[in-house]
Amino acid sequence: MRFAYRRYDTPEQSPLDGATEVFRPEIPVRLIGSRGDVYVLGLLDTGSDSIVIGRGIAERIGARLSRKKLWRVHGFGGQSLPAVRGRVDVEIVHRRESLCWTVPISVVTYDDPDQDEVLLLGQSGFLPFFDVRFCGAEHLLEMKPNAQFPRRPKPL
């Protein structure tokens, strides 16, 4: 599976390199819960220990949440957010290939409602199932399911 990085315009010129745009390794993902599904862009994040989604997405699709397993996720610079653990089905469709499996998630409530649509695809439940190649100069991501991938049929 090959995906082009997503291009975003920056609000101002970068003081580091003068760029006015950034490219991110994001892929289209379908998240499936008991009440429905949603298509979102997921950022492949090698620094994230888990798959992180916003509470709004989790509630909209009916993600299976564990009220007993509350914890905190820690981000860049020590930022800490309360989280609840859960599970959703994930599907990636690319050309004629469809991959679907159930993943553990960390559901967080962001202070900024605009971040509620953020999906981070991290280590637990995602990255170990793929051999991934980041082609930075070409703004290209190559993913191939490996032997660890938990194959199962596509959802209805």
Q: Which domains does the chain have, with CATH numbers?
A: 2-145 (2.40.70.10)
Structural contact between residues 108 and 80, judged by C-beta atoms closer than 8 angstroms: no
Stretch 22-49: mean pLDDT, rounded? 93
Using CA atoms of 41, 37, 99, 87 in order, give the dihedral in degrees to the nearest 10.
Answer: 90
pLDDT higher than threshold 70 for residue 124: yes
What is the C-alpha separation between 56 and 61, in angstroms, rounded?
A: 9
What is the pLDDT, as a whole number, of residue 153? 55
Q: Which of 53, 52, 2 is nearest to 27 (CA)?
A: 2
DSSP notation for 12-59: S--TTT--SEEEE-EEEEEEE-SS-EEEEEEEE-TT-SSEEEEHHHHH
